[in-house]
Structure 1
């Protein structure tokens, strides 16, 4: 399972008091005190050259800057302090809080009003920007949730990890109530340290369907965050339902495949096992009959028929048993050092008279391979026998050659028959498939399926390829028998004797 998580940050918080961050508001308050005082000191040093209007505009500028930085309350503080400094230092009579002329009262009032209006506009703009960022984060989060649900088998852990990051939680769990009715909870999946094992251990929990709860630990959530958490819960429920449907579909597919395999097995057994059994039974029954006197050559022929039929029957049963052992994973392959030029003579002997149609061309420098000698012989008999059976009359002989490819050896069985179309090549390795056979003497149709399984059990592959000029080439790939360096004992250090 992959722990990779699609990156996105935590959802931004939206405060009902201020849309600005706390450090920014504190900095704004400090600026509301320092900036008017510093500017007033500078204006006092400059003297009356600027005039009252210039002094008022300069201090109003401090209110605007403070509003932009610290928001509403910092601007209010700055406006009140700036108006007080303006009255004390620049409105006659100076250095008193009295206002000598009535129009200067309106100057102070207008000064405060402008400061408040500017700070209100800045506060509203910051609130709008924060809400827009929140909406964008929510949309991005919901999009990530939808994409996570479409992922593979690691979708649930990914979704929980997204949930933990999106809400700034330390851990997240999916809990399922014990179906036995004991009232206990089971952790289906969890992410983060100290993940809650019960809803009571969580700071926030929400239902994700019947007997399912999402539990988060870290901090309480507001109403807007709970709405997004509800979307997560819906996706978790959909994900679990999808997984349940996928498991049901996989089970149905396995049952259907087993049913097809059973039907094919019954059909194959009905046709292919009955034929040699009937021949052997007929030969033995004829020999036991007291109504007919058989000549020696006739008796030998009946015995040969019975022997051949029983041998064929034993081979078919052995193939079926080996195929079932392969499917059950009960077949163990030995790791032996094998020389292919030593294995081919017994293969040709087992092929009988048809071996005369096989040409063997192995390079002299071909290295040894690793495998099970009995299994390799079995594979080659099946593959070469299959090539001979499908070779048309008068075609070029079947060729067996080999080559080295890195740390692998490829044994090629080349025939010049009709070949197999690309679209049908997967079928020839399916059990009970006899592509191109027109009679029931070709066997159960499990030779290539069994051969591929045996080769893979030895760490190799069996693949088809086109023969130049027409035909099919079966490539048996086996690992080279590489020498293993013996373990080296660590040196023994003897201390000096003093």
Structure 2
């Protein structure tokens, strides 16, 4: 009995030690995540806010005579900075929704051509995107709003890190329809494809000064997987990055199951 009691006590102590270690690990991870978030968000909030404040200060300066062209440039700078802030906030909120499991897609048939057109209206420098998406391709089964955010985030990432021109093209095979966003920038370093969709990843490395908190591709991955699709990164032949969004093609079987 003493031996059994001793073993039971030892097992209990080991269990408590393991539980304490797990709690400590979760706390450390949460602290690291919070520190990373504050650092990244602090930097990316400060940059557009500084631009907005400087532009407004110039517009309000009583002793500064501005031409119509100068005024238009300052107003454009304010608008672009405000859009950048809105995009950052959207990605932070979306990341929170994904972390808490609050994303509930409403699936219906939608064409990539329609989604890409809507996404381009929310992307800066969209005139640098060449679209080659046939409207005769099968529709995909997706949540149009979520898919639009996926495409907008991937396009924005390609324009920021790869630069124009960026191309968007689609093809269908094996019951899937793939959308490929192709840039010709520096691409990813070797072995970095799997980590490209992790939160707070700056594809250009720590020295990259390109604005962006590093949540765009993470949100795109979460939304795509929530809709039953996949997203992956590939090297662009000749240099650059290609992001492939793959979703099930809508078929009669889906319609018979009640998807309208």
Answer yes or no: same fold by TM over 0.5: yes
Are the counterparts in 2 of residues 349 and 355 from structure 1 also a CA contact under 8 Å?
no
> What are the ranges of 5 or more consecutive residues in structure 2 without an aligned counterpart?
none
C-alpha distance 418-297 of structure 1, shift in aligned 2 (>3 A) = closer
Aligned residue in 2 for 1:335: 107
CA–CA distance in structure 1, aligned partners of residues 215 and 62 of structure 2:
40
C-alpha distance 316-402 of structure 1, shift in aligned 2 (>3 A) = same
Deviation of 1:339 after TM superposition, in Å, equals 0.6
Deviation of 1:443 after TM superposition, in Å, equals 0.9
Deviation of 1:365 after TM superposition, in Å, equals 4.6
Q: How much is the aligned-residue C-alpha RMSD, in angstroms?
A: 2.8
- Is 1:315 the equivalent of 2:90? no
CA–CA distance in structure 2, aligned partners of residues 245 and 408 of structure 1:
48
Aligned residue in 2 for 1:247: 19
Match of 2:151 among 380, 391, 413: 380
Match of 1:275 among 30, 47, 56: 47
Taking structure 1 as the reference length, what is the TM-score of the superposition?
A: 0.46
1:297-337 CA deviation, whole Å, 9 max, x = no partner? 33322222222212211211121111112111123322122
Aligned residue in 1 for 2:130: 359
C-alpha distance 243-476 of structure 1, shift in aligned 2 (>3 A) = farther
Taking structure 2 as the reference length, what is the TM-score of the superposition?
A: 0.83
Are the counterparts in 1 of residues 105 and 227 from structure 2 also a CA contact under 8 Å?
yes
- Is 1:446 the equivalent of 2:215? yes
- Give the SS at the match of 2:178: strand
- Give the SS at the match of 2:123: helix
Match of 2:58 among 280, 283, 286: 286
Matches within 5 A, 1:203-214: 208-209=4-5
Are the counterparts in 1 of residues 137 and 172 from structure 2 also a CA contact under 8 Å?
yes
- Is 1:369 the equivalent of 2:137? no
Aligned residue in 2 for 1:259: 31
CA–CA distance in structure 2, aligned partners of residues 481 and 209 of structure 1:
62
Are the counterparts in 2 of residues 360 and 400 from structure 1 also a CA contact under 8 Å?
yes
Higher relative contact order (CA 8 A, sep 6+): 2
Aligned residue in 2 for 1:425: 193
CA–CA distance in structure 2, aligned partners of residues 480 and 243 of structure 1:
49
C-alpha distance 419-292 of structure 1, shift in aligned 2 (>3 A) = closer
Match of 1:464 among 233, 236, 248: 233
Deviation of 1:289 after TM superposition, in Å, equals 3.1
Are the counterparts in 1 of residues 161 and 203 from structure 2 also a CA contact under 8 Å?
no
Give the number of equivalent residue pairs: 255
C-alpha distance 246-343 of structure 1, shift in aligned 2 (>3 A) = same
Are the counterparts in 2 of residues 410 and 477 from structure 1 also a CA contact under 8 Å?
yes
The higher radius of gyration belongs to: 1
C-alpha distance 361-241 of structure 1, shift in aligned 2 (>3 A) = farther
> What are the ranges of 5 or more consecutive residues in structure 1 without an aligned counterpart?
1-204, 211-233, 488-498
C-alpha distance 208-373 of structure 1, shift in aligned 2 (>3 A) = farther
